[in-house]
Chain A
């Protein structure tokens, strides 16, 4: 969706402000929101793409005015309500009023570190041949889905070149809505900075994005 999260190339946000000796978390509640979001994601009630979709579909003004973990919290509450795992009234009260709904699994302390150190790969097997090869000229399609997508606006309609064939991966655009992992080929596509930004582009510069096959057409 063309939401507030799609920030590449936007003006007016001011300088980058690094914080010296920055702590990992800035408040106790941030720790709990971080861990709750991961643990609830682990239940299988939704997936990472669904979480990203929930975060980026906050109203743009609210998204931009919220701190990072505040966005996570609001999205988590939204997902809990949408799946019926918790009602807004229960969240307000902090007490259960309805029976729990079954979840596929819960995150136990035992074995947790091993699970997270092993990771959760999103590469998948596919029988479909890759449509593009290394070096191919491609164009990012000029699409504007109102739903979740990982094709940033600043490359849409632009011509680039395949610099890596990454393999087949879960397709976020459908996976976010639990309508199927639908594995598709993923490519790294390089664009000339001046093709993207005209004279404002860094001379000789390159910007790459990781683009799923449905985002691309031959050029």
Chain B
């Protein structure tokens, strides 16, 4: 499974379509004609996962955990019902486990066998998560992988890699950035990146004051 994007989708001229596009259209026509599929349902699925479900939902969960210690405890103890308190859940997140980063422990999530990923909180996975380089190396060289994402941890921070080999789906609860005391939940959620919930990144740094901005 390579890392190239849309490697069969070159639209050359005008209305000409690529062989894979033609093959997929033929398949959809056939399955619709046979009554197995409703194209309107396919449209709705695409819309749901392309526009509604995404990492902004996981960011809300993280921000809530940062401001509400009782919620944080429920989230780390039994994640699925805790996440459902925010109206978030569904396919690919029926059995959620949330793992917490601390100064002593950093967590990293992978699926070496396929592409298991917590859809309801993070949406569909990016290509790199599903491609061989990450799946191969996250378990054997997590620090090397983190370095490629620009993350260097202190040597004293140990790493736990969670390989998603069953229907359990993992989300990382990153550490709340310093200097965010008094921030609203919404402002905190804006600091939470997708990668910080996979463990390949950290939350966004605070906006730099104009006076400190490099020119």
User: A68–B91 contact, CB under 8 A?
Assistant: no
| A1-50 interface (Cβ within 8 A of B) | 5-11, 13-19, 22, 24-36, 38-40, 43
Name A27's contact: one of B21, B127, B160 (CB within 8 Å).
Answer: B21
A133 contacts partner chain B, Cβ-Cβ < 8 Å: no
User: A36–B31 contact, CB under 8 A?
Assistant: yes
Q: Say which size band chain A's interface belongs to.
A: 35 or more
User: A13–B41 contact, CB under 8 A?
Assistant: no
- Docked Cα-Cα span, A122 to B168, in Å, equals 10
**A148: shortest Cβ distance to chain B, in Å?**
10
Main secondary structure of the interface of B (DSSP, over half): mixed
With A19-B126, A65-B2, A205-B161 as contacts: A108 and B133 at CB distance below 8 Å: no
**A47: shortest Cβ distance to chain B, in Å?**
12
A136 contacts partner chain B, Cβ-Cβ < 8 Å: no
Question: Across the two chains, which residue of chain B brings its CB closest to A17?
Answer: B3
List B residues at the A interface (Cβ < 8 Å): 1-9, 18, 20-21, 23-31, 33-38, 40-46, 48-50, 54, 89-95, 97, 112-115, 120, 123-124, 126-128, 130-143, 145, 148-149, 158-168, 195
- Give the number of A-B contacts (CB < 8 Å): 292
With A68-B130, A202-B143 as contacts: A208 and B26 at CB distance below 8 Å: no
A137 contacts partner chain B, Cβ-Cβ < 8 Å: no
User: A166–B114 contact, CB under 8 A?
Assistant: no
A174 contacts partner chain B, Cβ-Cβ < 8 Å: no
With A52-B114, A109-B38, A210-B165 as contacts: A91 and B3 at CB distance below 8 Å: no
- Docked Cα-Cα span, A210 to B209, in Å, equals 45
Q: Which chain A residues lie closer than 8 Å to B120 at the CB level?
A: 117, 119
**9 shortest interchain CB distances as A-B pairs:** A94-B26, A27-B9, A8-B112, A26-B6, A210-B166, A35-B42, A10-B136, A100-B34, A29-B24
User: A113–B44 contact, CB under 8 A?
Assistant: yes
Q: Which chain A residues lie closer than 8 Å to B2 at the CB level?
A: 64-67
- Docked Cα-Cα span, A113 to B120, in Å, equals 12
